[in-house]
Amino acid sequence: MKKILIIEDDQSLCTELSTLLENSGYNPIILKDFQNVKEEIKKNLPDLILLDINIPYTNGELLLQEIRKEWNMPIIMVTSRNNELDEVLSISYGADDYITKPYNPTILLLRIGAIFKRIEKTSIIEKYKELNINMQKGIISKGNQEITLTKNEMIIFNYLLTHQNKIVTRDELMTDLWNNNEYINDNALTVNISRLRSKLRDIGYKDMIETRKGQGYILT
Amino acid sequence: MKLKEYLKDQLSFIITFILNIMIILLMLTTFKVEKNLIIAIIFILLISNLYYLFFNYFRKKGFYQELLNNIELLDKSYLVLETLQKPSFYEGKLLHQALYDINKSMNEYVKNLEIQVNDFKEYIEMWIHEVKVPLASLTLMLHNNKKEEKNLNEQLRRIEDYLEQVLYYVRSENAEKDYLIKETKLEKIMNSIALKNKDDLLENKIDLIVKNIDYQVLTDSKWLEFMMNQIINNSIKYRKKETNSYIKISAIEKEKKVVLTIEDNGIGIPQSDINRVFEKSFTGQNGRKKSKSTGMGLFIANNLCHKLGHKIMIESVENHYTKVSIIFVKNKYYDVTK
């Protein structure tokens, strides 16, 4: 499980953030001692850090520079300061991403997921059951059978794939699609899912995407 | 300073002078003084007094004329004192000193006000950032509890929008310090606006049609995001209930300009109101139909546009469409430094 360190001084925000991360399969750690941040990092060695700019004793941007001197785990700046200058500074000091509060939780998770994916450089071809999935080309193959997915279908399938064993809501799928510049409406999502289903049926997976009434979808 | 007015002002002196001459004339003739001597005395008196009168006139004229002229020339007439030479005559010196003192006290007063306003603005900005923290907690709480969250989320989003409006209003008034212009992808800005308004758009069944916006423009991305968000919020607010609504966003490049267009098929703006939509607090007929209108959105957007050197234009036919264009000029100097 990936360890994520939360550096944020607002207590209730910390708790909610850690619940969110926990529900999504991460291992969140909340920083308690703001005077010895580096000690805490050394002790825990997190895989990723969520760092606020307004923190006690120091300032997020300074801390970011300090951390960068010793470690290079990914850091996402999470802040309520909504201006270009802070963003440019943060990125130039070595932050991997910059998100302003209040943020959409799904998007925060997508950004975290994207960073991990980038680091692990997962091979383009993933496997699920007997399927070989080529993200880049949008091709799913089983033996010598092959289906081609459209961009939207691939985004949906990929999201279901990365959230196996979990019910995925329509809203999550929608957010991921919109996040990828595909601004489709509700009907189009339904159409895309049923097309994806019928394509999967063609290669022998009739009920791969199961509907959970009132909740969403799950990959079986 | 007019000679006529000056002489009128000096009337008492002139009358006394004439009376003097007449009395002296009378006395001299009574004492039977030589005629030539009388003429000489009167002549000397006349010359010396006239000399005094005109010398005084020209001395004052130099100072006052310069004062009046410079007041007219300067667009900030309160700076006039800095442009004047110190007068040589007593009255002028008094006036100069008085003006200097008045100016100084006014400066102090204005300075105090400026400090107060800036303090207040700083406080407001800080306060907005503080409020966003509990807002973020609330958003996460709703998400974690997975209850009927749509309505609650919408209300949170409204609070956030109003907060942004205040923030950018404060920033647009003393913008010099906190913007940063750089090459920005329109697509990226569009993406974050779309995600922000996703729930509103889907809930109200408004199709978002985005095409050909693969351009880079010189702007401050946060400000542009705010402006576009205001425009899109208006499109959502003033949609037509009965038809399939859409918002079309596209861009074209022509003559070294990039024009970004946001078009909707909403209720439009009446012809009588369209020239006033960028005015502060103007709500118009549409605003009165919707109680939530503040009349600030487009005003701030327009202000920010000016500061960034973009142009914003609006075009509409009532009951048909509203089309807002933002024009980005390509900067040659920037290309040179690249």
- The continuous run of DSSP H or E covering B109 comes out as helix B90-145
CATH of residue A64's domain is: 3.40.50.2300
pLDDT tens figures, A80-109: 888 888 888 899 999 999 999 888 898 999
Helices B150-173 and B221-237 pack at an angle, to 10 degrees, of 130
- pLDDT at residue A56 is higher than 80: yes
Do A62 and A146 belong to one domain? no
Q: What is the pLDDT of residue A104?
A: 87
Q: Are residues A13 and A113 in the same domain?
A: yes
Please report whether residue B143 resides in a domain: yes
B222 touching A, CB under 8 A?
yes
| Owning domain of residue A94 | 3-120
With tokens 């959409």, the residue in question is A104
Asked whether residue A92 falls in the same domain as residue A154, the answer is no
Number of domains present in the structure of chain A? 2
End-of-domain residue from the set A104, A120, A136: A120
The reported pLDDT for the residue numbered A130 is 83
Q: Which residues, other chains included, contact B235 with Cβ-Cβ below 8 Å and sequence gap of 6+?
A: B206, B247, B262, B264, B266, B322
Question: What does the pLDDT read at residue A121?
Answer: 67
The answer to whether residues B307 and B234 belong to one domain is: yes
Mark whether B136 and B21 lie in a shared domain: no
Q: B241 vs chain A: nearest CA distance in angstroms? A: 17
Q: Closest to B137 (Cβ–Cβ): which among A16, A83, A107?
A: A16
Q: In the prediction, which pLDDT does A183 show?
A: 94
Give the residue ranges of DSSP H helices in A24-169: 37-44, 60-70, 84-92, 105-120, 151-162
Q: Which residue stretches of chain B have pLDDT < 50?
A: 338
Q: Does B156 touch chain A (CB under 8 A)?
A: yes
Question: Is B152 part of a structural domain of the chain?
Answer: yes
Q: What is the pLDDT of residue A125?
A: 65
Tell me which DSSP letter residue A47 carries.
Answer: S
Q: How far lies A17's CA from each of A104, A108, A169, B58, B136, in Å?
A: 12, 10, 20, 81, 9
What pLDDT, on a 0 to 100 scale, did the predictor assign at position B333?
Answer: 59
pLDDT (mean) for A120-140: 78
Note whether B197 contacts A: Cβ–Cβ < 8 A. Answer: no
Indicate the residue among A97, A120, A143 that finishes a domain: A120
Instruction: Give the ipTM of the model, two decimals please.
Output: 0.84
A102 contacts in B (CB within 8 Å)? Answer: 132, 135-136, 138-139, 156, 160
Between CA A25 and CA A1 the distance in angstroms is 7
Does B323 lie in the same domain as B187?
yes
Distance from CA of A185 to the nearest CA of B (A): 6
Residues B146, B331: Cα–Cα separation, whole Å: 49
For residue A166, which residues of chain B lie inside 8 Å, CB to CB? none
CATH number of the domain enclosing A179: 1.10.10.10
User: Is the same domain home to A144 and A107?
Assistant: no
Q: What pLDDT was estimated at residue A81?
A: 82
What pLDDT sits at residue A58?
A: 86
On whether any CB of chain B is under 8 Å from the CB of A30, the answer is no
In a domain, B207, yes or no: yes
Inter-chain residue contact B140 with A16, CB threshold 8 Å = yes
- Structural domains of chain B, count: 3
Helix B150-173, helix B90-145: angle, nearest 10: 160
Closest CA to B312 of B293, B323, B238: B323
A131 shares a domain with A63? no
B186 and B321 inside one domain: yes
Residue type, B249: I
Q: What is the pLDDT of residue B291?
A: 64
Strand segments (E) across chain B: 182-185, 206-211, 216-219, 245-254, 257-264, 311-317, 321-329
The residue out of A68, A95, A120 marking a domain boundary is A120
Model confidence at A28: pLDDT above 80? yes
pTM of the model: 0.81
For B:77-136, CB contacts with A below 8 A are 128-130, 132-136
3-state secondary structure of B263: strand
Residues A92 and A162 in one domain: no
| Residue B139: burial class (beta carbons within 10 Å; 0-12, 13-18, 19+) | buried
Direct distance between the N- and C-terminal alpha carbons of chain B, in angstroms, rounded to an integer: 57
Same domain? For A91 and A151 the reply is no
Residue range A198-202: average pLDDT? 91
- CATH code of the domain covering residue B318: 3.30.565.10
* Domain end (from B85, B104, B138): B85
- Which of B160, B178, B202 has its CB closest to that of A102? B160
Q: State whether A14 and A108 are in the same domain.
A: yes
User: According to the model, what pLDDT value does residue A177 have?
Assistant: 95
B184 and B172 belong to one structural domain: no
Do residues A148 and A80 both lie within one domain? no
Rounded-to-integer distance, Cα A163 and Cα A182, Å? 20
Please state, in angstroms and rounded to a whole number, the distance separating the CA atoms of residues B236 and B244: 12
Is residue B184 domain-shared with residue B174, that is, in the same domain?
A: no
Mean pLDDT of A155-177: 90
- Shortest CB distance from B187 goes to which of A16, A54, A181? A181
Residue B189 confidence (pLDDT): 94
Segment holding A4, helix H or strand E: strand A3-7
User: How close does chain B come to A184, measured CA to CA in Å?
Assistant: 7
Q: CA-CA distances (angstroms) from residue A21 to A124, A180, B91? A: 26, 22, 80
Asked if the structure places residue B93 within a domain, the reply is no
Are residues B172 and B204 located together in one domain of the fold?
no
Alpha-carbon span A102 to A79, nearest angstrom = 8
The reply to whether B238 and B323 lie within a common domain is yes
| H helix or E strand, kind and range, residue B41 | helix B35-73
Q: Are residues B130 and B184 in the same domain?
A: no
* Boundary-marking domain end, from B129, B163, B178: B178
Nearest CA in chain B to A174: B198
Please provide the size of chain B in residues. Answer: 338
Contact list in B for residue A77 (CB cut-off 8 A) is none
Whether A46 has a pLDDT exceeding 80, the answer reads: yes
Q: Chain A partners of B141 at a C-beta cutoff of 8 Å?
A: 12, 16
Q: What is the pLDDT of residue B313?
A: 94
Q: Are residues B167 and B193 in the same domain?
A: no
Of the CA atoms within 13 Å of residue B222, those in its CB half-sphere come to 22
What amino acid is encoded at B140 in this protein?
A: L
Domain that includes residue B319, residue range: 180-337
A195 and A89 in a single domain? The answer is no
Residue B164 and residue B143 share a domain: yes
B178, B207, B234 - which closes a domain: B178
Are B187 and B308 within one domain?
Answer: yes
